[in-house]
Structure formats: structure tokens, C-alpha cells
Chains A and B, each alone.
Chain A
């Protein structure tokens, strides 16, 4: 009996290690390719966004795949993380603070602010289920984005000034500085996000999620997904664990937002980056990669972000091929016949039955 358990733990742990190894190998290979100059400048610029999308997808998978609640507002949490961290960085810009320390602090602040928003939004929102939850999270995402678009924050010798009208309404002194300039966003943010930082953050996000779902709290979260009434009957605190998973999920999205903010010099809250489309795109990564599979989320995020860029040469046919690839991936992952075929091939290759790893 005891042996069974050791085997199981090893299986979980092995799946975890394979995922880390995949990320690290991909990173090393890319680094070698970049160093040898065989990667286009365009693709090089894609490395940090790849990490960002992977991180947010992993976080969203915790919410969608493990908690079983559909959130369409994760771009909103990214937005919160991005703006709060960028705001901090801008404020600290001329204080002579060490750049690394400043970035780490910005990361912590962005993550915590997103977690706080996730928590506050989660309290009312997680009372809803299914479609209603999706609609309300969607609305929250849009609200966050639109509020930031009319937010003006400036600083002068008297301290901070806030306004929801325009920059002149801040009434700044001559030497004052507008930090958040409404729809123009935050400008001249030092670009500190690198591929290495992105990969490290992705590994941390994966570590937290893997360890969480393989622990007592993770089991409780999955129990709520599998059968809420039964979970309640064995004394699982439904609201508490829902909030926990949602908050962690939002925090991870916030960390992705911090990377995003420090990747571009100018941060604005546009529909293209923090809107509905972004939330859906991340959700596509999660669903296609397999709900409840963090590794799948990362793979899907990388592939689906790379493909449109690689296919850029095909101009008009690009999105056509993209959609065909989406359908192929969906079949590959979910069609029962294809899954059976895949497993049969695996059996042939390895001579023994391989179960689906986590």
C-alpha cells in the first residue's frame, strides 16, 4: 500500500519536473539561437511576451481548470499589476534606488495589488456561477481598463494629485510631473523585463501552481470543482477556497502584467493589450492546452503566440492558417479517437502503456 503512494507522488513530481525541464531547455535553445544570430529581431522581441502569456495562462488555468470557474477578466488583473508596478517604478526613478531592487519591489507591488483586486472582486463575484461569473468578470476587466484610462496622477513638491478629468485639473506646480496621464498612460518606463526574468517568473508561477494543486488546499479546490455539494458536506469551506484560488490566479496574472509594463517604454490601457480580446486569447491558450494541465497552457501559449509571427510572410493567409492550427490542436487534445490513436502510438514507441501525465 505504501508503495502505491510513493509511485503516485513520483508520478506527480515527475510531471512537474518534465515541465520545468521543458521550459529551461526551450530557454537555453533560444539563447543559443539568439547568440548565433539565427533569430530575427522580430522573434527576439517576442520572447518576453511569450513568457508573459505563459505566466498569465498558467494563472488562469488555476482558476478555470482547477477551480472550475470561468473568468473573462484576467486581462484586467494584468492591467492592475502593470499600472501599479509602473507607477511605483516611475515614482522611484530619481531616488537613486538600485535598479534590481526597484524592479523586485515593483514586481511585489504589482503582484500584491492584483491579488488585492482579485480578492475584493472575488468576494461578490464568486457567489455567482457559470455564465454569470463569466459576464461579471468580463465587466470588471473592462471597468478596470476604462477607469485607468481616465485616471490622472501627478506629483510635485506638495505631494501627489489625483484627478479623473484631465491633466490640467491636477493643478501641478511648474516643476510637477504627470505620472499617469489618462489614456496616454505611463510614459518612459525603464525597460527592465528580460527573457531570463520572464523565464524565472514562469518557473516560479509553475512551481506555486503545481505545489498548490498537489496539496491539501489544492484537493479542496478541485473538490469544489468536481462536486460543490459533496465538498460542502465534508466540511470544505467553499467560499474560502474559491477566494484563495481566484486571488492566487489574479496575483499571477498581475505578475505577468508587471513584466508587460517593464517591457515597453509606454504603458497604455488599450483594448488591444488589456481588453476583452486579451482575456479571450489567454482563455484560448488554457482551453486548447488542456484545462487542468499547466504544461499544456505553456505549450499552447508559446505555439499560438509564435505562429502568427512566423506566418507573417503569408500576409492575408496568416489568420486562415492560424485558425486551422487552432482546430488541429483542439482535435489533437480532445478528440477521443485521436487521443486513443496517440496513446496507441506511444505504446508502440515505448513498449508499455503510458498514462497521461499531469
Chain B
């Protein structure tokens, strides 16, 4: 059974059908790409998957659990974590604290315990620090744990967002244009990181991207959206040769 199954998903804003009869099937451990011209509805799909928008109709199933109508925080608990197109970090907190906020549910203790520093507080904080540093280490940022997250260079802010999303221990990771604003070297490094994350955490990843090198380099399958509708989907190489896709997106 597919890990993520989306059937007949539609939403309209006013008279505009932003996403129309969207279908998607992602197997466990797959690296899946979602591409399309600007305004095609890619981020809307992400917002539908994470419960930011409620779909007009359709089914979203993660591991057999119906996610339609659930709140964003519950969907996160079910196992979908995401990053954002325009980076959204907790800018006034340290890099370490950003990841620790992602670990919020994994190492719980009550507010009372926190205020009065009961033994559980020390136990949980210690475990949390270790886990957070471990995650940061994966991204080569453990030495920057004490930096204010807004002071990080752009590429590392993107990585920190991924680390924070991973901290919530998701089954499916959604990356919204992870390579936006990166130079070719950084993009290449990012590709390695994404592959590494997939292998190390046994993660399933769905990503939106405009950088064709990245998409053709790491995605096993892709879906192309145009005006809210699926133009083509399937194996990356085949889809990118599809004449209609070339016409709509890549240019003739």
C-alpha cells in the first residue's frame, strides 16, 4: 500500500479552481517531485496536505489514516512535516532551540515540571539536547547550535528548517522549493543532503522544485501540475520527455 494516497483532491478560491482532481501516490522511502510553472497550484497542494486549507472534495490518506478535515497540528502528529518556500524559522531563538521546538512532542513534560525543575525536567531536557545536537550534526551544524537562527547564512537556514521538520519524527517530509535562492554548489550539496536524509532516516520525501537539475538528479518519480491540473506523472525521465510538459513548462 502506498504511504501517501491522494484521490480526486480539489479546492477553489472564489471562481478559480486552484487544484482540480489531483491524484498522488507515494510509496514508502520514495523521493517524489512536484513541478509546474508558477501559480500551477503546487504550494496549494502542500497546504491541502498539511491542513492549512480544507479541500472542497477528495481524499488524503497517510498510511491508511484519513487526514481530510484534520487540523495542521494533528496532521503533524500523524506524520507529515514540512518546510516553507519563504523560510519560516523561529528567528529570535537559537539554532538548538529551533530543533528542540520540533522535538516538543517527543520529550514531553508539563509546564509545572518546567517551572519547578522537577527531576523529569532535567531528564527530558538532557535527552532533548542530545537528540537535537545529533540532528544538527547530520546537517553539519552542531557547532552553530548557539547561534541565533536568523543569523545563519541562507543555505543553512534551509537546512535548519529541514532539521526542525525531521525532529517531529515524520513519516513523510514535504520540502517546498528547498533549493530556491541557492547557487549551483549549494544546490549540489543540498541534493546530497536530501538523499542522505532519505537513506539515514528511511524517509519518504515529496518536494516542490524549479531547479530541473535537482529534480532530474534525485527524484524517482514526478508529477507535473499546470493550472491546477495534472499534466503528466510517472518516472522522471519519461515525464520530462513528454512533449506537453516541455511545452508548458520547460519551453520549446
Contact = CB atoms under 8 A, between A and B. Distances in A.
A227 B72 contact: no
B89 interface: yes
A1 B138 CA distance: 14
Nearest to A244: B111
B249 interface: no
B210 to A, nearest CB: 22
B146 interface: yes
Contacts of A266: none
A296 to B, nearest CB: 16
A215 B115 CA distance: 7
A230 to B, nearest CB: 4
Most A C-beta atoms less than 10 A away, residue of B107, B114, B164: B114
B162 to A, nearest CB: 12
Nearest to B117: A211
B84 interface: yes
Contact of B111 (A212, A222, A225): A212
In this complex, the interface size class of chain B, counting residues with CB under 8 Å from chain A, is: 35 or more
Interface in B194-238: none
Given A223-B101, A234-B168, A215 B111 contact: yes
Nearest to A228: B88
Interface residues of A, number: 32
A4 B164 CA distance: 19
A217 interface: yes
Nearest to A230: B88
27 contacts: A4-B146, A8-B96, A8-B146, A211-B115, A211-B117, A215-B114, A215-B115, A216-B107, A216-B128, A217-B111, A219-B97, A226-B92, A227-B89, A230-B88, A233-B50, A233-B72, A233-B76, A233-B165, A234-B76, A234-B81, A234-B102, A234-B165, A234-B168, A235-B77, A235-B168, A236-B73, A244-B111
Interface of A: 1-2, 4-5, 7-8, 208, 211-212, 215-220, 222-223, 225-227, 229-238, 244, 292
5 A-B pairs with the lowest CB-CB distances in the bound complex, closest first: A215-B114, A235-B76, A230-B88, A226-B90, A217-B111
